[in-house]
Structure formats: structure tokens, C-alpha cells
Amino acid sequence: MNHPPLNRTLKVRAASLRKGMTPEEKKLWYQYLRSYPVKFRRQQIQAPFILDFYCHQARLAIEIDGSQHYTDYGRSYDQWRTKHIEKEGIAVLRFSNSDIHHRFDGVRIMIDLIVKKRMEELKENQS
């Protein structure tokens, strides 16, 4: 599928989000994803959205959800957004801020399992 050129507003917003990561995003990035053996990107544009973290090889987005995601509107918007991202063949994995603070080892294990599973599935589908 052809995508329009990235618009400047999204580029500026993504750069701003990279500079102003939440404490939970920083923890996940600096304590795990930055040195993960498969490359992840921060604040990756997947127009018209910006994904918190994205692994191209696994076609996997990781989203860290703060309290605004647990309102009725937040849940509805996230479902709509996830549906559109998944239409592009990208799986979406969500963790709460609480998961990052209190279950960080479990988060890391889950990410590792899903990345490996996705990469294997994508490899099989290419055959």
C-alpha cells in the first residue's frame, strides 16, 4: 500500500515525543528495548499515528498506556486506532504504566516471546 509523504507536523510531533518520553517509556527504552537484539524505534510514525515503540522486523507496535487510556473515550479511541494499525499488518501490544512499574520482568518476557513469535510467523508466511 502506498502512503503519502510524512507530513511535517507528524515529524515534529514524533521528535517532541522522543525528547519528552514519559518515565515509563524511558524505563522500557533504556532498560530493555534500546539494547534488545532486534531493533526497535521510538515514536515511530505510522501515519496518521505515532507508535510509542515499533519493531519493523516483527511488525510489532508497543504502546504504553497512562490513565487517559482507561476512560470510556480512551478505550474507544484505542480500539479504533489499534484496528487501523492492525489493518497494516502490525500487531499492537499494550502495557499499562502500572505494568512497567510493578511487573517489568513480565513485560520484558512478554515482549521477547511476542517478537520471536511474530518473526517466526512472518518468516513462515514468506515461504
58-111 pLDDT tens trace: 999 999 987 565 566 777 888 988 999 999 999 999 999 999 999 999 999 999
What the chain holds in terms of domains, given with CATH numbers, is 15-126 (3.40.960.10)
DSSP string, 61-110: EEEEE-GGGGSHHHHHHHHHHHHHHHHTT-EEEEEEHHHHHH-HHHHHHH
CA neighbor of 56 nearest in space, from 37, 40, 35? 40
% of the chain at pLDDT higher than 70: 90
